[in-house]
Structure 1
């Protein structure tokens, strides 16, 4: 049972609770219409999993030219990239610093079709050893693991738009580095194109803004209500209505919370660092997986910094945005597991740069 209705659509590859070697075996027959895509892919989930493994595990870096548009646009907390050559260069640099990486696919939610383009939200976990110099300094020899979420729009076998979020806060901590010192160094680096956002303020004129109070029988309506009421409306007393009593949340920085009250503490911690912030939902997609339906939400939280809370001793009064993604797994009509990814280093770098 779900708290909303989902439309019918083609069945695609399920990846959860499956061995990676099985996923990389011979693809099955084409399961959905994918005009312009290579014949080897059975569906859009199979496409995302296979090209990720080819590029990052097999080191077939040149496959980027086959699977990314020449003028692709990549958005992250650090700015905007507008060239496939920049994607190739960034991949080479990352693999140089972490050459023995392995990728684990946690979920691929999707929406769209061959005419409009497919939207995918790929939640993954990578493990590697820092054996070379990286953007964070000399090699440390330490084994690290972090979650990432790559939201892509793909048409005719090529990704043309991507939003990339990596849990670099967890990475930096595992490297043994200070989070704020690292953010200061990132802030001092030359800047490229800056991502400009405009999230609604908390006031509508002189009155408090009215948050979403519309229908919740669709996945989009339910998500709008969930984030508006809890995050924007600050009604954390609604959390027990949305999360199971034993729900588990995996958050940025390696944080884990169990139960509605502790999950609420995570949200309060982030809001304490951005007390005037407002969250905006940018896209919603979903997957019908082995262990339940998973709803993927890409969002942006924008506000003004204040020392304290999850971001620690951040400079106060600095406008910043948090580009984030949450994958919510449902069971019995409630959220039973959540993965929320955002980049603490990228947010802190904005504050130190402002």
Structure 2
């Protein structure tokens, strides 16, 4: 396939496009350059609902930069896959760290160091981001700032849109076409492998199959900076993630696979969990109310099996939904 260089202009590759624009906007205070980076009518799908339009993104970015002027975002990996000859999807895993030095939606400057892992998934067409899915470990942000997650969850609002966080039905066959469009024929085996893992192990609860898909020294990093090692502890962590919503359905919404000599084969997955909060009371007394989670995972394969997973979803957004079901009065931050 011949790729139109306009797809990642003005950079030399798709990976450089993602890393270069991130630095220009956030490290160099180039917030006004968002006009050159985002399409005017772009949509960002986040854990609390969609954000529409580049101008809305610009306003929110300005507020965040003022609160965390010295926050550093370190790129852990960028997984890119082509979507035709004029577009690509990128799964950008970033670790953020830096002090809160300005007023933020959660309160006055604390001076405390905030840290968290984010995964930003961008669909880029002809040099512009046209759609984005952003997943943050906001629970870690809140606790590293010394704040009470329950209190914060009561102050944020979850979307009221009937379409939910995605606004579209789940793809019929994510191996052929996901949220970001038609997939290439490359890496079909790896994409099918990871879909089977999530569909059967996560979705159908065949946790006994975890060792079939993973290496002995499996390493999982998940929300709240929790680390779990080996298949047994992966099974325990997964059961604990699902236990608050025992009827949960997990949809794989998009897959991207990339192999590089220095990094190996990595797979980025965008997923959605829906269920009822009527199981383990992890987020306070059960409310028997619906829950929707936008999540992302990145997997590293070794000899065709999973050796590492980085999993990100926003537990503050989950708690906000529970607070809303309890009747707590939310306010927009």
Give the TM-score taking structure 2 as reference length: 0.86
Q: CA deviation at 1:291?
A: 3.1
Gaps of 5+ in 1: 1-8, 11-31, 201-215
Gaps of 5+ in 2: 171-186, 326-333
User: Do residues 303 (structure 1) and 275 (structure 2) align?
Assistant: yes
Contact 1:314 1:351 in 2 (8 A): no
**Alignment partner, residue 79 of structure 2:** 109
Write out the 4+ residue segments of structure 1 that deviate beyond 6 Å after TM superposition.
none
Q: CA deviation at 1:217?
A: 6.4
User: Do residues 312 (structure 1) and 286 (structure 2) align?
Assistant: no
Q: Write the distance in 1 (CA, Å) between the matches of 2:266 and 2:77.
A: 8
Give the TM-score taking structure 1 as reference length: 0.81
SS in 2 for 1:326: strand
**Alignment partner, residue 203 of structure 1:** none
Q: CA deviation at 1:306?
A: 2.8
SS in 2 for 1:141: coil
Matches within 5 A, 1:142-157: 142-157=112-127
Q: Write the distance in 2 (CA, Å) between the matches of 1:96 and 1:114.
A: 38
Contact 1:199 1:302 in 2 (8 A): no
Contact 1:314 1:348 in 2 (8 A): no
Q: CA deviation at 1:113?
A: 4.3
User: Do residues 225 (structure 1) and 201 (structure 2) align?
Assistant: no
Contact 2:7 2:87 in 1 (8 A): no
Contact 2:270 2:296 in 1 (8 A): yes
Matches within 5 A, 1:64-83: 64-83=34-53
Q: In structure 1, which of residues 239, 257, 262 is the aligned counterpart of residue 210 of structure 2?
A: 239
Q: CA deviation at 1:133?
A: 1.8
User: Do residues 323 (structure 1) and 323 (structure 2) align?
Assistant: no
Q: 1:183 to 1:292 in 2, by over 3 A?
A: same
SS in 2 for 1:99: coil
Cα deviation, 1:239-291, whole Å, max 9, x if unaligned, reads 11112111110001111101111111111111111111010000000222313
Q: In structure 1, which of residues 122, 135, 151 is the aligned counterpart of residue 92 of structure 2?
A: 122
**Alignment partner, residue 331 of structure 2:** none
User: Do residues 280 (structure 1) and 251 (structure 2) align?
Assistant: yes
Q: CA deviation at 1:97?
A: 1.2
Contact 2:246 2:279 in 1 (8 A): no
Query: How many residue pairs get matched?
Result: 306
Q: 1:333 to 1:270 in 2, by over 3 A?
A: same
Contact 1:273 1:305 in 2 (8 A): yes
User: Do residues 340 (structure 1) and 311 (structure 2) align?
Assistant: yes
**Alignment partner, residue 183 of structure 2:** none
Cα deviation, 1:45-77, whole Å, max 9, x if unaligned, reads 110010011111111111111010011111111
